[in-house]
Amino acid sequence: MRESSAPADAVVDAVVDALDAPSSDVATSSVAAASSVAPSGTDAPAGLSRRRFVGKAGIAGAGVAVLSSGVLASTAATAAAKDVAPGTDVLPTVASVKARLETVRLVDLDTVEQAALLQAREITSVALTQAYLDRIDKFNGPFEDYTPGGNGYLNAFVRIARDEALKAAAAADARLDAGHGGGAPAPFLCGIPMGVKDSIGLKDRPAQNGTVAFKGNVGVEDGPAMAKLRAAGVVFLGHTICSAFSGATTGNFAGNAWNAKYIPGGSSQGSGVAPVARLASACIGEETGGSIMFPSACNGASGIKPSLGLVSVAGVMPLRVAVDVIGPISRSMRDSALILNTIMGPDAENDPQTLSAPIPRETIPMTPKGGTKPLTGLTIGIPQTDWMGVVGTPPQQRYDADYLTMFTRLRGQLETLGATVIEFPGLDLTLAANNTYQNSTDTLETVDGSAITPLFAASYPDLYDVGFADSLEAFANQFPANRAALLANYGRRAGGATANTVPAVAPTFTALAAVHGGVSAGARREGNRRRRQMAANYQKALDDAGVDFMLVMSVGAKIGLRPNGGFSRSRTYFQTPNILGWPMVSFPIGFGTDAEPLPISAQFWGTRFSEPQIVQAALDYQAAFPEYHRAIPPEPAAVPVAARRTTTPPSATFEIEEVDPLFSNDPVVYASAVPDELRPR
130 and 168 Cβ atoms separated by less than 8 Å:
no
Amino acid of residue 57: A
- DSSP annotation of 78: S
Based on the residue annotation, tell me whether 197 is a catalytic residue of this protein: yes
CB within 8 Å of 677: residues ≥ 6 apart: 391, 430
The Cα–Cα gap between 206 and 449 comes to 37
Of the residues 24, 36, 138, 197, only one is catalytic, namely 197
- DSSP annotation of 548: S
555 and 523 Cβ atoms separated by less than 8 Å:
no
- Secondary structure of 550-603 in the HEC alphabet? EEECCECCCECECCCCCECCECCCCCHHHHHCCCEEEEEEEECCCCCCCEEEEE
Based on the residue annotation, tell me whether 125 is a catalytic residue of this protein: no
Of the residues 267, 312, 330, 570, only one is catalytic, namely 267
The DSSP annotation for 83-102 comes to: TS-SSTTTSPPHHHHHHHTT
The CA angle 11-14-20, to the nearest 5 degrees, is: 140
Kindly list the distances between the CA atom of residue 115 and the CA atoms of 187, 229, 592, in Å, as whole numbers in the listed order: 9, 14, 32
Sign, CA torsion 594/267/585/624: positive
Phi-psi domain of 165 (left: phi exceeds 0; alpha: psi -120 through 50; beta: other): alpha
Amino acid of residue 461: P
Q: Pick from 248, 196, 302: which is nearest to 587 by CA? A: 302
Of the residues 23, 291, 450, 554, only one is catalytic, namely 291
Based on the residue annotation, tell me whether 332 is a catalytic residue of this protein: no
| 563 upstream amide cis, omega within 30 of 0 | yes
Report, as residue numbers or ranges, the catalytic residues: 197, 267, 291
